[in-house]
Amino acid sequence: MYHIRSLADYQNAYKKSVEDPEGFWGEIASQFVWKRKWDRVLEWNFKKPEIKWFSGARLNITENCLDRHLETLGDKPAIIWEPNNPAEKGKTLTYRELHKQVCLFAAVLKNNGVKKGDRICIYMGMVPELAIATLACARIGAIHSVVFGGFSAQSIADRLQDAKAEFVITCDGAFRGAKDIPLKSVIDDALVSCPFVKTVIVFTRTRTPVSMIKGRDVWWEEEMAKVSGSDEPLCKAEEMDAEDMLFILYTSGSTGKPKGVVHTCAGYMVWTNYTFKNVFQFENGQVHFCTADIGWITGHSYIVYGPLSAGATSVMFEGIPTYPDAGRFWDIIDKYKVDILYTAPTAIRSLMGFGTAPLEGKDLSSLKVLGTVGEPINEEAWHWYSHHIGKDKCPIVDTWWQTETAGVLISNMAGVTPSKPGYATLPMPGVQPILVDENGKEVHGNNVSGNLCIKAPWPGIIRTTYGDHERCRVNYFATYENLYFTGDGAMRDENGNYRITGRVDDVLNVSGHRIGTAEVENAINMHTGVVESAVVGYPHDIKGQGIYAYVIFSGTNTDPELMAKDITATVSRIIGAIAKPDRIQFVAGLPKTRSGKIMRRILRKIAEGDLENVGDTSTLLDPSVVDEIKKGSLKKS
Ligand code: WT7
């Protein structure tokens, strides 16, 4: 049941997973190292919601990712690190070396007063120490909250406060392409409003000057030196309950404030391992290259926990696909003989834009499986990826999932179940998708569309939103009774394949990153000159979706170009550069209903450049604002 190797295996596994989920997952879970076996495989109630997988079981996920491989894979590479600058030497950590580093850093955390259950914010670039820090937290039962290096000081402060995190692990700086990002300095700004942070551990990467504050800030290297010499046995793994929190990862929703998605130890481990092995059809000894950042769920699940628990070699890349040139991914694939490449449609589209010249002289013959994640993939990009990168011999897996799902829910399995360009295709065993209409009624049959929901829990399902369980209930489990609501729309074809059509809530997907429109509006509204704003998405050739902001401005400044620059700077300051609007249109009014609700449907149409089809405007308080906005539209058809 564990390894799905044929379509028939898939069908059998799927059937069993639905008919007897406890038997199915019990059998799968027996592949792992447990300190104590579970009493029950699954207990659940979507109303509360309360979901418990493997309750009563005791384990430590790092023993499954590291210790258990030492005998057989001790000298095999666990992490291959490729630096931003190809002229710099990379680093390979074998399973034995990674295990040692994790144990040592776990001891450092303990020396600095970290205890089981404490929250630790990790704000680092893509260096191996980021994976080490993450695993060291898991080793001692501290809850990690990794924050992507592109977020602003304000965003970090919000997350530190929400999680009440007293510890921060960061770097002096990070290299990303031609840029050098001063991470520690951003942390210092964040900590002005977070006096409860006791300790900051700083890893040296860029040698950017940093101000180390006495009594609070310590160097990674010095702390490691303190524990390295000792003869003490390597830091023992904390025995965790199956449902103890493993980590918090903040993600955007349709309201202004990001929410802390919580995943727990056992279910997360089983789900990421099972999906990693089966979706990519991982074979022992293979090299897996996931191009995501560990600051996102894709990096957590398919750079760190999934591949390591499977004994894979995981490539970690510090830089960006276009530095020093657009052939960088292909060089890395040839250099390390990568078997599996997992990337985002936005990266493929951006590389497509450089044509095939950057592919000249690249071999790519080590590749066996290609994957995509993060947003719907357009057919043109799918075919380019298949032909130019996969040389028409590598299956492509289009993996649909979310921060909340921990791992892949809907995808083909490489070479085992059929692929169809633009379709995520079929659910993983244990995943029961259904489509519902606005009233929550199930839409039966094929060639139908609806809102995508899931009927029953899989081991990696979100357990709560940190510090606010009600928010988790309202967001995911209250829209439709007894269903997990994904926030995505989907259609189902004649063979039961799913095609994800995009978010149906006010969440944008910009270059595969999730950004709430309300969050961007809040940031824009912080600018003194802004009276009101409305943000919508519009189709963007490379990013998938671009951010279009309509802004009512009443400042003394009247130069629209400067005004737009100031607003952009404000958004970067409040959220981070990833949320910068692509287009800002200054308007005199926004289309509102008599009850004061902004009609985003109209704004979306105008942002798309579809000025003729804005639809019915008769319910608006002042329909004439629509003509005004159309006249000033930055995207005319
Ligand atoms: C949203 C989740 C999954 C890890 C990265 C993003 C969209 C994700 C696909 C896909 C179409 C996709 C959905 C989803 N999405 N994968 N293969 N096809 N859409 O995680 O930030 O939690 O975003 O990304 O809209 O809800 P996330």
59 beta partners:
240
With bands split at pLDDT 50, 70 and 90, how would you rate the model's confidence at 116?
very high
With bands split at pLDDT 50, 70 and 90, how would you rate the model's confidence at 2?
confident
DSSP string, 414-440: TTTS--BTTB-BSBPTT--EEEE-TTS
With bands split at pLDDT 50, 70 and 90, how would you rate the model's confidence at 637?
very low
Distances from the Cα of 630 to the Cαs of 49, 131, 172, 330, 602, in angstroms?
45, 49, 47, 44, 10
- One-letter-per-residue 3-state SS of 71-93: HHHCCCEEEEEECCCCCCCCEEE
Is any atom of ligand 1 closer than 6 Å to the C-beta of 500? Answer: yes
Q: Are 553 and 529 in contact (CB under 8 A)?
A: yes
Is any atom of ligand 1 closer than 6 Å to the C-beta of 250? Answer: no
Other C-beta atoms within 10 Å of 616: how many?
10
What is d(CA 31, CA 25) in angstroms, rounded to the nearest whole number?
Answer: 10
Is any atom of ligand 1 closer than 6 Å to the C-beta of 104? Answer: no
Distances from the Cα of 625 to the Cαs of 443, 598, 634, in angstroms?
38, 12, 16
* pLDDT tens figures, 170-198: 999 999 999 999 999 999 999 999 999 99
Average pLDDT over residues 68-93: 98
Q: Quick check: helix, strand or coil at residue 99?
A: helix
Give me the phi and psi of 310, to 5 degrees please: -90, 0
pLDDT value at residue 136:
98
What is d(CA 78, CA 39) in angstroms, rounded to the nearest whole number?
Answer: 33
Tokens linked to 125: 């670039």
Amino acid identity of residue 175, one-letter, is: F
Is any atom of ligand 1 closer than 6 Å to the C-beta of 305? Answer: no
From 272, 400, 578, mutation site for ligand 1 pocket: most ligand atoms within 8 A of C-beta: 400
Closest C-alpha to 260, from 404, 386, 111, 427: 404
Contacts of 570 (CB under 8 A, 6+ apart): 523, 524, 526, 527
- One-letter-per-residue 3-state SS of 223-289: HHHHHHCCCCCCCCCCCEECCCEEEEEEECCCCCCCEEEEEEHHHHHHHHHHHHHHHCCCCCCCEEE
pLDDT value at residue 212:
98
* pLDDT tens figures, 576-622: 999 999 999 999 999 999 888 999 999 999 999 999 988 888 889 89
Query: For residue 635, is pLDDT > 70?
Result: no
With bands split at pLDDT 50, 70 and 90, how would you rate the model's confidence at 369?
very high
From 342, 402, 465, 503, mutation site for ligand 1 pocket: most ligand atoms within 8 A of C-beta: 402
Q: Are 624 and 589 in contact (CB under 8 A)?
A: no
Distances from the Cα of 436 to the Cαs of 49, 181, 427, in angstroms?
20, 45, 17
What is d(CA 135, CA 130) in angstroms, rounded to the nearest whole number?
Answer: 9
* pLDDT tens figures, 456-496: 999 999 999 999 999 999 999 999 999 999 999 999 999 99
CA 559, 564, 567, 568 dihedral sign is: negative
Q: Whose CA is nearest to atom 20 of ligand 1?
A: 402
Query: How much distance in Å is there from the Cα of 450 to the middle of ligand 1?
Result: 17
Q: Are 212 and 202 in contact (CB under 8 A)?
A: yes
pLDDT value at residue 556:
75
Question: Residue 503 CA: which ligand 1 atom is closest?
Answer: 25
Domain 507-636 in CATH 3.40.1370.10:
no
Is any atom of ligand 1 closer than 6 Å to the C-beta of 342? Answer: no
What b/e readout covers 327-354, taking b as 16+ CB neighbours within 10 angstroms?
Answer: bbbbbbbbebebbbbbbbbbbbbbbbee
Query: How much distance in Å is there from the Cα of 374 to the middle of ligand 1?
Result: 4
Residue whose tokens read 């276009």? 322
**What value, to the nearest 5°, has the Cα angle with vertex 488 and ends 420 and 472?**
135
Is any atom of ligand 1 closer than 6 Å to the C-beta of 503? Answer: yes
DSSP string, 554-602: -SS---HHHHHHHHHHHHHHHTBGGG--SEEEE-S---BBTTS-B-HHH
Question: Residue 500 CA: which ligand 1 atom is closest?
Answer: 11
Q: Quick check: helix, strand or coil at residue 311?
A: coil
Radius of gyration of the chain (CA): 24
Average pLDDT over residues 188-210: 98
- Burial label for 561, CB within 10 Å (0-12, 13-18, 19+), is exposed
